[in-house]
Amino acid sequence: MDATTGIPPAVTEETEPFWTAAKEGRLLVEHCPACGAESFPPRGICRSCRARPTGFAEVTGRGEVYSLTVNHQRWLPGLEVPYAVVLVEFPGRPGVRVAGRLRGCPPEEVSVGMAVEVGFEPGPGGFAIPSFTAVR
């Protein structure tokens, strides 16, 4: 599937570092220098202590499927369905959950707790969109 069609993300001052890193294949989450809390997506204010400004931290390594849904609707011409959209948590990073399409795995084989790795694929407007692959 090619994800380059569709509506490009609305980039804000708070999310620009995330999109720039995504083009480099890196996943950034918001990190609060005052209390150390992390969160996603970036909002420019700490969800834990309300401090401004916030910074960023890079997430590396495997994540785990926290929740999932399977899309059966062909929203765009050429969209291959069905596919799973997963909400992923990362060990030692409470407060961070990232959603994305699961690639290379039939939706009926996805389960909560499954190990995944983040990757990026070309998206609309030249942006890189986070998605996940199953670790087998």
Which residues would be at the binding site for Zn ion (CB under 5 A)? 32, 34-35, 37, 46, 48-49, 51
Residue type at 10? A
Nearer to Zn ion, 48 or 71 (CB): 48
Tell me the closest approach of the beta carbon of residue 49 to Zn ion, in angstroms: 3
Rounded distance between C-alpha atoms, residue 25 and residue 39, angstroms: 19
Tell me the closest approach of the beta carbon of residue 55 to Zn ion, in angstroms: 10
Q: Between the CA atoms of 112, 113, 116 and 118, what dihedral angle is there, to the nearest 10 degrees?
A: 80
Nearer to Zn ion, 49 or 70 (CB): 49
Tell me the closest approach of the beta carbon of residue 15 to Zn ion, in angstroms: 18
Tell me the closest approach of the beta carbon of residue 38 to Zn ion, in angstroms: 9
Nearer to Zn ion, 37 or 85 (CB): 37
Nearer to Zn ion, 94 or 124 (CB): 94
What are the DSSP calls for 72-110, one per residue? Answer: ----STT----EEEEEEE-TT-TT-EEEEEEESS-GGG-
Rounded distance between C-alpha atoms, residue 132 and residue 101, angstroms: 6
Nearer to Zn ion, 34 or 79 (CB): 34
Cite the DSSP H helix spans in the chain.
16-23
Degrees, nearest 5: CA angle 16-64-33 = 40
Tell me the closest approach of the beta carbon of residue 9 to Zn ion, in angstroms: 25
